[in-house]
């Protein structure tokens, strides 16, 4: 375990060193400042925008029956939304008509509808399977 940790650590430091050198010495003049700003901004966007939304969603789910299924649907819908938002914002802007040629707002709604349908399907299947299991246990419980 010690050697594995040592090797990983050494390799990590080496690669990190390469990366820092590339960033500080091999980029255009005036790159480092904005990059540091954007690094901090990414964390801020995640911590102050995404985290509260997720925590609120978690609170809302707490009392629901079949909580895990709804949670699953939200995770899938949320992931599709994260992917879709930049496309929805940037569509129509590229000068090149083959970039972002679709209506991504409509497509995003379609994927949400698909996710909702799949979530309901899982709920139905879960209820059906549990019903069958409960029935079997009830019958087996009789002497």
Partner 1 sequence: MDGTGEHAENAGRQPGGGEGALVTFRAGLHDPRTATAVGRLLGAAMLLCFLTGLVSHVLQQPPGRLAGSLPVRPVWFYRLTQGVHVASGIAAIPLLLVKLWTVYPRLFVSPPIRGLRHGVERASIAVLVSATLLQLTMGLLNILQWYPWPFSFRQVHFALAWVLTGSLLLHLAVKSPLIAAHWRRRGPGTLRLPEDEAADRRALLWSVGAAVGAVTVVSAGQTVTPLRSLTVLAPRQVDHGPQALPVTKTAAEAKVSERALRGWQLQVAGPRPYALTLEQLRRLPQHHAELPIACVEGWSKMARWSGVRLRELLERAEVPEHASLRVVSLQLGGAYRVMEMEPQYARDPLTLLALDLNGEALDLDHGRPARIIAPGRPGVLQTKWVHRIEVL
5 near partner 1, judged by CB under 8 A: yes
40 near partner 1, judged by CB under 8 A: yes
Q: Which is nearer to partner 1, 99 or 132 (CB)?
A: 99
The DSSP code sequence of the chain is -HHHHHHHHHHHHHHHHHHHHHHHHSS-TT-HHHHHHHHHHHHHHIIIIIHHHHHHHHHHHTT-TTHHHHHHHHHHHHHHHHHHHHHHHHTT--SSTTSS-S-HHHHHHHHHHHHHHHHHHHHHHHHHHHHHHHHHHHHHH--
48 near partner 1, judged by CB under 8 A: no
3 near partner 1, judged by CB under 8 A: no
**From candidates 63, 65, 92, 98, binder to partner 1 by CB under 8 A:** 98
- Rounded Cα distance, 52 and 58, in Å: 10
Q: Which residues bind partner 1 (CB under 8 A)?
A: 1, 4-6, 8-9, 11-20, 22-23, 26-28, 30-31, 34-35, 38-40, 42-43, 45-47, 50-51, 54-55, 58, 68-69, 71-72, 75-76, 78-80, 82-84, 86-87, 90, 93-96, 98-102, 104, 107-108, 110-111, 115, 118
């Amino acid at each position: 375990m010690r050697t594995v940790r040592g090797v990983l650590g050494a390799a990590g430091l080496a690669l990190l060193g390469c990366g820092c050198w590339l960033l500080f010495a091999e980029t255009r003049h005036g790159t480092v400042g904005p990059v540091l700003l954007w690094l901090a901004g990414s964390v801020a966007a995640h911590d102050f925008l995404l985290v509260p939304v997720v925590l609120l969603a978690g609170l809302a789910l707490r009392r629901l029956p079949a909580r895990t299924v709804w949670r699953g649907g939200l995770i899938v819908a949320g992931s599709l939304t994260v992917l879709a938002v930049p496309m929805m914002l940037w569509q129509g802007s590229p000068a090149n008509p083959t970039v972002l040629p679709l209506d991504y707002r409509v497509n995003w709604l379609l994927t949400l509808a698909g996710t909702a349908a799949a979530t309901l399907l899982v709920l139905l299947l879960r209820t059906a399977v549990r019903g069958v299991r409960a029935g079997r246990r009830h019958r087996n419980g009789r002497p």
